[in-house]
């Protein structure tokens, strides 16, 4: 049955509506019901058949209805007219018999006239009703009061109607924009078009107790606004990586954005120090504002505006060497003295979350410490973790094993090493689309790769002297094992 043939669906008059006309959503229907005693309601609603056929909660109508024509001791239990109408007479008779046993009376069935207006329909039905048959809306992101869409080509003509429906149905929304193109590879921004609401682009979001302030109006051209990137679907991705940090960690983020890894690393995990970089100066400006907003003391986070490769090749090695020298001095370690080098321990973490390009930056870590060989002894008793988030694109109904194998290939070819003993964890993060998966490779960087001089390809990587910390070494062989055909993007 087409969704347009259903009783509990807006009328055909709104089909393919290009300009929202709320008056056309009016529809009169007959809703089946059974009259039940108030004292038996809980027992009746527990029946499987009743749960299956009951009317789902609507914005202004619930399954349990106090009709003005009912006795005070009775309520009408409303059924979904589509499900109830599709039930066989045998199923209806079985339901009547079950109800008779519970209330000791013959149940009174009937139909109640009800006129649905625009305010009665939920968001999902309203949006689906204005689209062509067979075309789905997909999903949307909400960043504070701003909703941003990424509409497919077939949905694009209805963007203004959809935008106004979203404003009506989501009380917290005041601005709706639609993404015009994909994220750029330089500033990681997207061009968007205002499709509904007010042009108010300053907003604030909260993720895992951290507040982030954004201003989406910093660059404008024609009718579009250039957005600093924020994706609420990455909340779990942020948390899974941040949980790897502790108070003995030093964290580097090469593509930090507004700080969804860096701020919780300092605020929640109490890392020793954090260094954040992004090529987009607006992202760094708002990160700095969010640092103040969350009461993080000055000096706990150093920020940079430069290319990610430059940050990896220049800033990270200099800072790693600086921390290694501090450890060396603290324990008076030199070439002639004896010291328990096992007690020298820091966990360095380099985060790369630019999934379309991150893997291309892995070679930047080859020999990146070659100018600091004097700290190698200390470095080898620390850990240097790389958390590289990247995409794997499949074809057709590729299984999860194929995606994992291709993810390993990407890491191996990017680092130019055949032996992946240094790849301690390959974690499936999420499905971006039916044939596009996001992974995080957690790599324990061997010192001979970091300092150079030893050939890595085809050889077993030299690991640090301490065993890897448990939370980064754990293998994740689970994840969603469905084929691409079995997966779909849910409607939010």
Question: 241-292: per-residue pLDDT in tens?
Answer: 999 999 999 999 999 989 999 999 999 999 999 999 999 898 899 999 999 9
How many CB atoms sit inside 10 A of residue 467's CB? Answer: 9
Q: What does DSSP assign to residue 477?
A: -
Binding-site sequence positions = 238, 278-279, 307-308, 353
Does 333 share its domain with 465?
A: yes
CATH code at 63? 3.30.70
User: Which residues, at least 6 apart from 137, have a Cβ–Cβ distance to it below 8 Å?
Assistant: 127, 128, 131, 151, 155, 162, 491
Q: What is the distance between the alpha carbons of residues 411 and 408, in angstroms, rounded to a whole number?
A: 5
Burial class for 332, CB neighbours closer than 10 Å (0-12, 13-18, 19+): exposed
What would the two tokens of residue 490 be?
Answer: 């849910």
Task: Please tell me the predicted confidence (pLDDT) of residue 4.
Answer: 82
Q: What is the distance between the alpha carbons of residues 362 and 388, in angstroms, rounded to a whole number?
A: 8
Task: Please tell me the predicted confidence (pLDDT) of residue 348.
Answer: 98
Confidence of residue 391 (pLDDT cuts 50, 70, 90): very high
Does 173 share its domain with 50?
A: no
In a domain, 413, yes or no: yes
Confidence of residue 332 (pLDDT cuts 50, 70, 90): low
Task: Please tell me the predicted confidence (pLDDT) of residue 334.
Answer: 47
Q: What is the distance between the alpha carbons of residues 155 and 16, in angstroms, rounded to a whole number?
A: 10
Identify each DSSP E strand in 287-400 by its residue range.
301-304, 347-353, 383-393
Question: 347-368: per-residue pLDDT in tens?
Answer: 999 999 999 999 999 999 999 9
In a domain, 7, yes or no: no
Q: What is the distance between the alpha carbons of residues 319 and 469, in angstroms, rounded to a whole number?
A: 22
Task: Please tell me the predicted confidence (pLDDT) of residue 167.
Answer: 97
Binding-site sequence positions for S-adenosyl-L-methionine = 238, 278-279, 307-308, 353
Average pLDDT of the residues in 305-333: 91
Q: What does DSSP assign to residue 225?
A: E
In a domain, 163, yes or no: yes
Which string of b and e fits 444-460 if b means at least 16 CB within 10 Å? bbbbbbbbbeeebeeee
User: Which residues, at least 6 apart from 258, have a Cβ–Cβ distance to it below 8 Å?
Assistant: 212, 214, 228, 230, 283, 286, 287, 290
Does 289 share its domain with 197?
A: no
Q: What is the distance between the alpha carbons of residues 387 and 441, in angstroms, rounded to a whole number?
A: 6
100-114, 345-359, 399-413: least confidently modelled range: 100-114
Task: Please tell me the predicted confidence (pLDDT) of residue 464.
Answer: 35
Question: 449-490: per-residue pLDDT in tens?
Answer: 999 965 554 444 333 333 333 344 333 333 443 333 333 223
Average pLDDT of the residues in 169-181: 89
Closest residue by Cα to residue 282 from 264, 302, 266, 259: 259
Closest residue by Cα to residue 58 from 9, 101, 6, 121: 121
In a domain, 373, yes or no: yes
Task: Please tell me the predicted confidence (pLDDT) of residue 45.
Answer: 87
106-115, 131-140, 150-159, 338-347: least confidently modelled range: 338-347
Does 258 share its domain with 212?
A: no
35-49, 337-351, 433-447: least confidently modelled range: 337-351
- DSSP for 400-440 reads HHHHHHHHHHHHHHHHT-S--TTEEEEEEEEEEETTEEEEE
Does 241 share its domain with 216?
A: no
Task: Please tell me the predicted confidence (pLDDT) of residue 396.
Answer: 79
Does 104 share its domain with 152?
A: no
Does 375 share its domain with 248?
A: yes
Task: Please tell me the predicted confidence (pLDDT) of residue 25.
Answer: 98
Task: Please tell me the predicted confidence (pLDDT) of residue 72.
Answer: 81
Average pLDDT taken over every residue of the chain: 84
The total of structural domains in the chain comes to 3
Q: What is the distance between the alpha carbons of residues 187 and 185, in angstroms, rounded to a whole number?
A: 6
Does 88 share its domain with 133?
A: no
Decide if pLDDT at 134 tops 50: yes
Q: What does DSSP assign to residue 22?
A: G
Q: What is the largest CA-CA distance in the chain?
A: 97
Task: Please tell me the predicted confidence (pLDDT) of residue 482.
Answer: 38
CATH code at 132? 3.30.300.110
Domain limits for position 41: 27-116
Confidence of residue 123 (pLDDT cuts 50, 70, 90): very high
Task: Please tell me the predicted confidence (pLDDT) of residue 104.
Answer: 76
Q: What is the distance between the alpha carbons of residues 93 and 212, in angstroms, rounded to a whole number?
A: 57
How many CB atoms sit inside 10 A of residue 352's CB? Answer: 26
| Interstrand relation of 27-37 and 108-116 (parallel, antiparallel or unpaired) | antiparallel
Identify each DSSP E strand in 38-139 by its residue range.
64-65, 74-78, 108-116
Confidence of residue 232 (pLDDT cuts 50, 70, 90): low
- 29 neighbors 81 (Cβ within 8 angstroms): yes
| Interstrand relation of 74-78 and 64-65 (parallel, antiparallel or unpaired) | antiparallel
In a domain, 22, yes or no: no
Looking at 116, 141, 169, the residue that finishes a domain is 116
Question: 408-448: per-residue pLDDT in tens?
Answer: 999 999 999 999 999 999 999 999 888 999 999 999 999 99
Q: What is the distance between the alpha carbons of residues 179 and 152, in angstroms, rounded to a whole number?
A: 10
What would the two tokens of residue 33 be?
Answer: 């019901």
In a domain, 307, yes or no: yes
User: Which residues, at least 6 apart from 108, have a Cβ–Cβ distance to it below 8 Å?
Assistant: 34, 35
C-alpha angle 360/439/192, rounded to 5°? 75
Decide if pLDDT at 394 tops 80: yes
Does 475 share its domain with 448?
A: yes
Q: What is the distance between the alpha carbons of residues 80 and 108, in angstroms, rounded to a whole number?
A: 17
Task: Please tell me the predicted confidence (pLDDT) of residue 217.
Answer: 58
- In whole angstroms, what separates CA 6 from the centre of its chain? 33
Does 221 share its domain with 240?
A: no
- Global pTM reads 0.72
Does 445 share its domain with 329?
A: yes
Task: Please tell me the predicted confidence (pLDDT) of residue 363.
Answer: 97
Does 38 share its domain with 185?
A: no
Task: Please tell me the predicted confidence (pLDDT) of residue 29.
Answer: 97
What would the two tokens of residue 32 be?
Answer: 């089946």
């Amino acid at each position: 049955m087409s969704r347009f043939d259903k009783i509990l669906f807006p009328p055909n008059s709104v089909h393919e509506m290009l300009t929202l006309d709320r008056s056309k959503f009016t529809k009169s229907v007959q809703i089946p019901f059974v009259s039940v005693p108030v004292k038996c309601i809980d027992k009746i609603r527990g029946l499987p058949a009743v749960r299956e056929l009951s009317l789902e909660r609507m914005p202004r109508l619930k399954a349990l209805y106090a009709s003005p024509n009912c006795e005070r001791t009775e309520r009408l239990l409303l059924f979904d007219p589509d499900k109830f109408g599709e039930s066989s007479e045998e199923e209806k008779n079985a339901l009547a018999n079950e109800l008779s046993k519970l209330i000791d009376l013959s149940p009174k069935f009937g139909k109640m006239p009800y006129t649905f207006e625009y305010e009665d329909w939920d968001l999902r039905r309203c949006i689906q009703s204005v689209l062509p048959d067979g075309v789905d809306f997909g999903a949307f992101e909400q960043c504070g009061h701003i909703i941003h869409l990424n509409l497919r080509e077939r949905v694009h003509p209805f963007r203004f109607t959809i935008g106004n429906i979203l404003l009506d149905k989501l009380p917290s929304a005041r601005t709706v924009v639609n993404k015009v193109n994909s994220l750029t590879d330089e500033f990681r921004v997207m061009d968007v078009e205002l499709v509904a609401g007010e042009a108010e682009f300053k907003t604030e979001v909260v993720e895992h107790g951290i507040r982030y302030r954004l201003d989406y109006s910093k660059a404008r051209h024609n009718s579009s606004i250039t957005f600093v990137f924020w994706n609420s679907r990455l909340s779990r991705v942020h948390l899974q990586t941040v949980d790897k940090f502790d108070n003995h960690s030093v964290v580097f983020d090469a593509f930090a954005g507004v700080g969804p890894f860096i701020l919780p690393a300092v605020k929640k995990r109490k890392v020793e120090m954090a260094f954040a970089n992004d090529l987009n100066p607006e992202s760094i400006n708002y990160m700095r504002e969010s640092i103040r907003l969350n009461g993080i003391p000055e000096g706990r986070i150093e920020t940079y505006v430069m290319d990610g490769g430059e940050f990896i090749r220049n800033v990270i090695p200099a800072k790693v060497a600086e921390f290694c020298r501090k450890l060396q001095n603290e324990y008076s370690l030199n070439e002639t003295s004896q010291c328990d080098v096992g007690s020298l321990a820091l966990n360095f973490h380099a985060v790369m979350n630019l999934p379309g390009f991150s893997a291309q930056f892995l070679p930047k870590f080859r020999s990146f410490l070659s100018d600091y060989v004097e700290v190698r002894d200390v470095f080898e008793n620390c850990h240097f973790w790389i958390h590289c988030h990247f995409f794997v694109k499949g074809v057709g109904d590729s299984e999860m094993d194929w995606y994992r194998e291709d993810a390993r290939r990407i890491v191996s070819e990017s680092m130019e090493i055949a032996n992946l003993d240094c790849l301690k964890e390959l974690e499936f993060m999420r499905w971006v689309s039916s044939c596009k998966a996001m992974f995080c490779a957690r790599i324990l960087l061997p010192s001979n790769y970091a300092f150079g001089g030893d050939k890595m390809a085809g050889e077993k990587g030299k690991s640090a002297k301490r065993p890897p910390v448990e939370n980064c070494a754990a293998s994740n062989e689970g994840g969603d094992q469905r084929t691409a055909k079995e997966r779909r993007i849910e409607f939010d």
